[in-house]
Amino acid sequence: VETREKYRAHVAAMLALVGGEYADANAAAEAADDVVAIETSIAKSHLSPAERRDAERTYNKFASCDELPNGDAFPWRAYFEALGKPEPGELNVSWPAALVAATDALVKHSSSPVGDSNPGRQNRSKAVLAYATFHCASSAASYLSDDFVNEDFSFFGVELNGQKELKPRWKRVVSQANGAIGELVGRAYVERHFPKHAKDAAVRLVECVKGAVEDRLRELPWMSDATKEKALEKMAGFRVKIGYPDEWVDYAALEIAAYAPYYSNARAAQMFEHERMLARIDAPVDRERWFMAPQQVNAYYHPMLNEIVFPAAILQPPFFDAAADPAVNFGAIGAVIGHEITHGFDDQGRKYDASGNMNDWWQPADAEQFNARAAVIVKQANDTVVHTQDEECEERKAGPFSLSKFGVRSVVAKDCTCRNVNGELTQGENIADLGGLRLAYRAWGEYVKTNGANGAAAPDNFPKDSAKRFFFSWATIWRQNITAKLAAKYIAVDPHAPPEVRVNGTVSNMPEFIASFDVEEGDGLFRTDETRVDIW
């Protein structure tokens, strides 16, 4: 309730900055009430973060725009005609109920007919105008004057995320350029930071992990031969993209004026991307398209394209170094590669076949076996509490970051409260973390058998034992600084578990870790054989 009232005040402040009929404080406050009322009516129909992960629930295909929800109340064909796409073809609506709620709200508060002097309808028209005005201003705030920038930051940065200060302007501009012309920036990044030999080394590492996955699938004790055959077919169909696209986005049609207002250039970039998006409607699927820019430190699996993608920026230290100790590389980027592959077989990815179609290729008994194991993952997460950091743990007092049989702990602001992890929400990522680390460990072992443990020495703060270095590398890549408010928000909405849970929850299920770190009953990461889980 407190956050909602602060949001209402933020809406009023933004409208007051727009001026005009909202220059008066009372008028801005009344308009803010209308905006919050419209948003509240729409929000009631939204799926929960855990429900939004459900691939079947969010796959709702409609043959044409004439069949879209709420067609009697909202002119869908006119809408698509206005977009220049009168025949958009088949459409998938992720949340039909939310679409109905949004169009209902728009129609309910729509403009009155020309010449209609009914005060009630005129007031409803004002509500929609206020809603549109606020969202136009909010989406443009970071490109406008300091007053808009600071008001936007005061709510979204300070109130929601607990940030102490606004980033310097140059950092904000770089971030905005990354979003607006990502592949143009990415091309320059690749030329400077991702030579061909690094890409070749990454390709070899991916192939090594893929081989470990295929070997593991063949020997899975809980899966039938019929389902194994389909799983191996899916693996054979995996596409791999590494570093950067083969064909870059052509920005020739984007006009950027050197002395134009900043917002004008930002708007031009937005419209350029908007036109590219519209061009994809009812067009053949572009399988060469990248959904991340090369300079983005991330990776992804796309279930409908059955592909794994690793931008150049994640193929850098501490995730990957072509000359590094293999244990360090496999514990970091190797686990990330395994993680993305495992997404193809997690609770949602397993519902798609080798061609990326939603298709149940599992034998019923195998699906039951999978669900039983996944339920253990869910329970483990549900039982995990992210603790308040009111007192320093002994390991943190000792100095540098470390991983031990007691696990790692995150360092957040001291006003963070205790919260349980949401096992349903984080299920897919937790399955992928465990599968990814297991498969990377296996791939590392096979690599060393063939190539030896040659490579640069591990960093000085890493253990001398190679198995410990593997797990230490895994823990190292999840280090972060985070505010209490942002940590609390992530617990509620992020399908990824907090970093310390990703580390501790994963390694505590691995016998290899238990053996390497001499974990015994009573230690923080001890699990009995009965409470550990093994899926992939």
Model pLDDT, residue 250: 96
Give me the pLDDT at residue 536, please: 93
- What pLDDT shows up at residue 135? 97
Which of 12, 277, 272 has its CA nearest to residue 137? Answer: 12
What pLDDT, on the 0 to 100 scale, is given for residue 279?
Answer: 92
CB 377 within 8 A of CB 423: yes
Closest alpha carbon to 342 in 292, 498, 499, 334: 334
The answer to whether the CB of 347 falls within 8 A of the CB of 375 is: no
CATH number of 188-247+288-517: 3.40.390.10
What is the 8-class DSSP label of residue 63?
A: S
Cα angle for residues 257, 185, 262 (degrees, 5° grid):
30
- Residue 110: predicted pLDDT: 63
CB atoms within 10 A of CB 145: 11
Predicted pLDDT at 454: 66
Using DSSP's 3-state secondary structure scheme, residue 77 falls into helix
CATH class of 1-152: mainly alpha
pLDDT of residue 488: 86
Angle at 533 between CA 530 and CA 536, to 5 degrees: 150
From 505, 379, 377, select the one nearest 437 (Cα to Cα).
505
CA distance to 47, 309, 348, 506, per residue, from 53 (Å): 9, 20, 8, 21
pLDDT of res. 413: 42
Written as six digits, the tokens of 477 are: 């890549």
Q: How far is CA 306 from the centre of its chain?
A: 17
Low-confidence ranges of the chain (pLDDT < 50): 112-115, 121, 388-401, 411-414
Q: Taking a C-beta distance cutoff of 8 angstroms, is the pair 411, 396 a contact?
A: yes
Look up residue 128 and give its two tokens: 């929609």
Report the distance separating Cα 10 and Cα 16, nearest Å.
10
Q: What is the pLDDT of residue 403?
A: 63
Residues 6+ apart with CB under 8 A from 130: 15, 22, 31, 32, 34, 35
Q: Which residue has the tokens 């869908």?
A: 76
| Contact residues for 164 (Cβ-Cβ < 8 A; gap 6+) | 158
Residue ranges per structural domain of the chain: 1-152, 188-247+288-517
pLDDT number for residue 391: 39
The token pair at 117 is 């002097």
- This prediction's pTM: 0.89
* Spatial contact of 204 and 320, defined as CB atoms under 8 Å apart: no
pLDDT at 411: 45
User: 239-243 and 307-311: which strand pairing?
Assistant: parallel
- Let me know: does 244 contact 311? Beta carbons within 8 Å: yes
Closest CA to 230 of 220, 239, 219, 217: 217
